Amino acid sequence: MNIPDHLRYTADHEWVARKSDTALVGITDYAQGELGDIVFVEIETVGQALRQGDVFGTVEAVKTVSDLFMPVSGTLLEKNAGLDSTPEAVNSDAYGSGWMVRIQLDDPAQVDALMSPDEYRKHLGL
């Protein structure tokens, strides 16, 4: 299972890649594996300010639909438009072309409070 060392993680299986006062957000390799074949990603919250824990969208797989939760507070700047035509990128490249949203961070320190890669591995029981 791929758990990159440069990212931070949530108990809900989102990852965050901080870049100064913005960040990319997606779901982890573990999450996409549990969901199965992803067929649709719906994100209609671009431009909205959301709090940590708020739902920012949904991901639909062949067998289920799952909410996507904000890992930190911020404003959604953009969604990954490529997922409109190729949602399966989340399955094939969860930490690259499968990213979901770019956000403006309200408090960059919130990212540091998320799980480290080692803490996330322990959370998964690895």
Q: What is the pLDDT of residues 74-91, one digit of tens each?
A: 999 999 999 999 999 999
How many CA atoms lie within 13 Å of 48's alpha carbon, on the beta-carbon side? 14
Compute and round to an integer the Cα radius of gyration of the chain: 13
DSSP assignment of 52-78 = TT-EEEEEEESS-EEEEE-SS-EEEEE
pLDDT of residue 63: 87
Residue 1 pLDDT > 90: no
Domain 8-111 CATH class label: mainly beta
Query: Which one, of 96, 94, 104, lies nearest residue 48 by Cα?
Result: 104
pLDDT of residue 55: 97
33-76 pLDDT, tens digit each: 999 999 999 999 999 999 999 999 999 999 899 999 999 999 99
- Mean pLDDT for the chain overall: 96
- Structural domain boundaries of the chain? 8-111
The token duo for 64 is: 């289920």
